[in-house]
Amino acid sequence: MSDTPLPRDAFPVVDGWVYLNHAGVSPLPAPAVDAMAAYAARAASDGGEAWRENETLEADVRARAGRLMGVDGADVAFVPNTSAGLALVVNGLEWAEGDRVVVPACEFPSNLYPWLALTHRGVEVVRVEPAGPGERLPVEAFERVLSGGARVLALSWAQFGRGWRSDLAAIGALCRDHGVLFVVDAIQGVGLMPAAFAEWGVGVAAADGYKWMLGPEGAGVAYVSPAAREQLRVSAPGWNSVSHRADFDRRDPVLDPTARRYEPGTLNDAGLHGLGASLALLETAGVDAIWAHVDRLCLALIEGLEAAGAEVLTDRRDGGGSGIVTFRHPGMEPDRLADELVTRRFSVRARGGGVRAAPHGYNTFDEIEAFAAAVGEVTGATSA
């Protein structure tokens, strides 16, 4: 029996890799592969006659995603990726000259470029600089900026480069106090860490499924709170956006009252079958158990890396830890070190000025120990 919260026998990748790139693209678990293959077989044998089954599947995945984010399933919209979820806000608000958007300076481009595209309309993008090399973003840094007024605060739950996890509850309360729409790029947290977006005051949160949710690429979710729906127009309405979606002869559009209004057309049902199977796997294991395990793995990884002579760049103080540990080693440049580790079948990437490792709930302490030893061997800090 596995001592990991996620069953290792559900992950074929373990036969060939020590896979530590879940902050990049996660490997598909076997149940997701099976679900997508079964969908493809039905599409081949029955074509569109399986549509009722797809409706049931979509409702189930919507509910599972809602539970994972701590929100009502009616407030969940399916999106093809995180960028599309953030675009619901970029394209949905009625912007005015002088509006301000606040973002961390260390954000992933998906949560920076869309806001910068609004500057031609007179929108000001204010970038909050991190406090220190760990890309630490204390609540106080946002408080100072928001006191000057803002329309939107957009940030990642966990920063992609070095993994700093923001206190969404505290920042959400701050946004409520200042009347600011709180928008979260949640891709580096949903599926790994317990979430309560509704309770925390998040207005919109978006995440593709291919990282910590263990789903396929192109099948993501967005939480759009009821309050946010009152502010965000539907910028791309379609037949699926309306409450009478099955009545194609009706010409007066009545938008669906739920977050489904932001789904203009046919969904990626193949991807949703895979995502649904992965979410079921996560639910069975329990996100609390997954996070507790990954947190311990990360602490063990930091200890092993430091013993191998590495400098850990990730700041995990004061609840700032996520599933990401980024490090560098004086014996080798990050790009080369990452490449050398990949050749040894350790899947990692160079990010955030170092090498980024990100274990999940099926990784083991033996794998973490082997990875730290490999870092020492590759850099010459220890003998092979």
Q: Are 172 and 317 members of one domain? A: no
Q: Provide the 10 A C-beta neighbour count for residue 20.
A: 27
For residue 235, give the DSSP letter.
S
Provide the edge-to-edge strand list for the sheet that holds 220-224. 76-79, 220-224, 204-208, 181-185, 152-156, 100-104, 124-128
Q: Are 247 and 356 members of one domain? A: no
Long-range contacts of 43-49 (CB under 8 A, 24+ apart): 43/270
User: What pLDDT was estimated at residue 383?
Assistant: 54
pLDDT digits (tens, 9 = 90+) for 301-345: 999 999 999 999 999 999 999 999 999 999 999 999 999 999 999
Q: Are 259 and 206 members of one domain? A: yes
Q: Are 46 and 125 members of one domain? A: yes
Residues in the chain where the model's pLDDT stays below 70: 1-2, 382-384
Token representation of residue 343 = 């050749």
Are 66 and 76 in contact, with CB atoms under 8 Å apart?
yes
Please report whether residue 3 resides in a domain.
no
Q: Are 22 and 155 members of one domain? A: no
What is the distance between the alpha carbons of residues 76 and 68, in angstroms, rounded to a whole number? 11
Q: What is the pTM for the complete model shown?
A: 0.96
Please report whether residue 307 resides in a domain.
yes
Of the candidates 227, 229, 235, 260, the residue with the CA atom closest to the CA atom of residue 246: 260
Q: Are 184 and 301 members of one domain? A: no
Exposed (0-12), middle (13-18) or buried (19+): which is 63, by Cβ within 10 Å?
Answer: middle
| Region for residue 251 given its phi and psi (left: phi exceeds 0; alpha: psi -120 to 50; beta: otherwise) | alpha
What is the distance between the alpha carbons of residues 64 and 203, in angstroms, rounded to a whole number? 19
Please report whether residue 1 resides in a domain.
no
User: What pLDDT was estimated at residue 1?
Assistant: 38
User: What pLDDT was estimated at residue 130?
Assistant: 95
Q: How far is CA 272 from the centre of its chain?
A: 16
Domain boundary among 283, 305, 326: 283
User: What pLDDT was estimated at residue 2?
Assistant: 63
Buried b (16+ CB within 10 A) or exposed e, 26-53: bbbbbbbbebbeebeeeeeeeeeeeeee
Buried b (16+ CB within 10 A) or exposed e, 122-153: ebebeebebeeebbbbbeebbeebbeeebbbb
Q: Are 146 and 60 members of one domain? A: yes
Of the candidates 18, 1, 8, the residue with the CA atom closest to the CA atom of residue 368: 18
User: What pLDDT was estimated at residue 52?
Assistant: 81
Helices assigned H by DSSP within 17-96: 30-46, 51-69, 82-90
Token representation of residue 168 = 């969404």
Length of the chain (residues): 384
Q: How far is CA 215 from the centre of its chain?
A: 11
Please report whether residue 2 resides in a domain.
no
What is the distance between the alpha carbons of residues 267 and 264, in angstroms, rounded to a whole number? 9
Largest CA distance in the chain: 74
User: What pLDDT was estimated at residue 382?
Assistant: 67
Domain boundary among 234, 267, 283: 283
Q: Are 49 and 67 members of one domain? A: yes
Residue 180 structural domain: 33-283
pLDDT digits (tens, 9 = 90+) for 35-85: 999 999 999 999 988 888 888 999 999 999 999 999 999 999 999 999 999
Q: How many domains does the chain have?
A: 2
Q: Are 73 and 54 members of one domain? A: yes
Please report whether residue 384 resides in a domain.
no
Q: What is the CATH number of the domain that holds 207?
A: 3.40.640.10
What are the φ and ψ backbone dihedral angles of 346, each rounded to 5 degrees? -110, 115
User: What pLDDT was estimated at residue 53?
Assistant: 86
Q: How far is CA 35 from the centre of its chain?
A: 22
Q: What is the CATH number of the domain that holds 361?
A: 3.90.1150.10
E strands, 140-244, are 152-156, 181-185, 204-208, 220-224
Please report whether residue 230 resides in a domain.
yes
Q: Are 290 and 314 members of one domain? A: yes
Q: Are 265 and 213 members of one domain? A: yes
Helices assigned H by DSSP within 286-333: 287-307
Domain boundary among 283, 298, 331: 283
Q: Are 279 and 290 members of one domain? A: no
